[in-house]
Amino acid sequence: MVSGESCLCLTCSSDNIITALPVEELHSVQEEAVSRIILHCLFASAALDSRGTVVVRSPDTDVFVLLVHYCSRIGGHLFFDTGTGNNRRAIDMNRIANALVNEVTSALPALHAFTGCDTVSAFVGKGKLRPLKLMQGSTKHIQTFKQLGVVADTLPSDVMEGLENCVCSLYGSPKANSTSAVRYQLFQSRFGAQVHILVVAINTVEAMVIATIQPH
């Protein structure tokens, strides 16, 4: 049982006396349950042999992404139990992680955060699959997302440049390095020389910086 920063192990004796003992290995200052789930998975798997099974029940995509990322470190067989009613299913996380190269699973959390999660807005009309395929097809993009968030409170210029090129590629301009320029090109292709007040889906450089700081 989680209580604040602590986690308690509840046991019941034969005479129905309940005892609560703290589990020091599960003490955490993480506020989000998503992050603490991984800690609990690692703790549970440490007590299992290679044939043991860990099942995580959650409807959250954030949890799914983190399970893919940490799957190789969680011993035994890992399943993600999600959905409700007739749509409830158990997803074999080992099978998914094994289908992806280690470089991709390492970069996946940053890609997920950057392209839209609970605290970051998504890119209009791009979803998750297209950015994933884009990253998988480029060693440069993989390295960019692997570096995102490595250094706390600092966004290296090469990472920012890589992210901007990734967004340009997402909107059909892989050779461009300026989202402002691609934004202008999109505007021109749709409206020519006409003057309109319009908010285009792709971010400006200034908005890119704000969007990048959030997942970072």
Contact 170, 126 (CB under 8 A): yes
41 closest CA partner among 88, 81, 96: 81
Cα separation, 1 vs 7, whole angstroms: 5
Contact 110, 117 (CB under 8 A): no
Residue 214: both structure tokens together: 């959030």
Where is 98: in which H helix or E strand?
helix 93-99
Can you give the pLDDT at residue 204?
56
Same-domain status, 158 and 133:
yes
Can you give the pLDDT at residue 55?
95
Question: Would strands 53-57 and 18-22 be described as parallel, antiparallel, or unpaired?
Answer: unpaired
Instruction: Label residue 149 left, alpha or beta by phi (over 0 means left) and psi (-120 to 50 means alpha).
Output: left
Q: pLDDT tier at 143 (50, 70, 90 boundaries)?
A: very high
70-102 pLDDT, tens digit each: 999 998 899 999 999 999 999 999 999 999 989
31-74 pLDDT, tens digit each: 788 889 999 999 888 888 777 899 999 999 899 999 999 999 99
**Number of independent structural domains in the chain:** 3
Domain membership of residue 157 (yes or no) is: yes
Tell me which amino acid residue 83 is.
G
Domain membership of residue 63 (yes or no) is: yes
Give the structural domain span for 192. 123-216
Contact 183, 200 (CB under 8 A): yes
Question: Between residues 108 and 52, which one has the greater pLDDT?
Answer: 108
Q: How many CB atoms lie within 10 A of CB 4?
A: 9
Same-domain status, 19 and 50:
no
pTM > 0.75: yes or no? yes
Please give the mean pLDDT across all residues of the chain: 84
Contact 115, 126 (CB under 8 A): yes
pLDDT at residue 3 tops 90: no
Cα separation, 194 vs 192, whole angstroms: 6
Same-domain status, 180 and 127:
yes
Average pLDDT for 173-179 = 86
Can you give the pLDDT at residue 201?
53
Same-domain status, 160 and 183:
yes
Cα separation, 114 vs 132, whole angstroms: 11
110-123 pLDDT, tens digit each: 999 888 887 778 88
Can you give the pLDDT at residue 79?
96
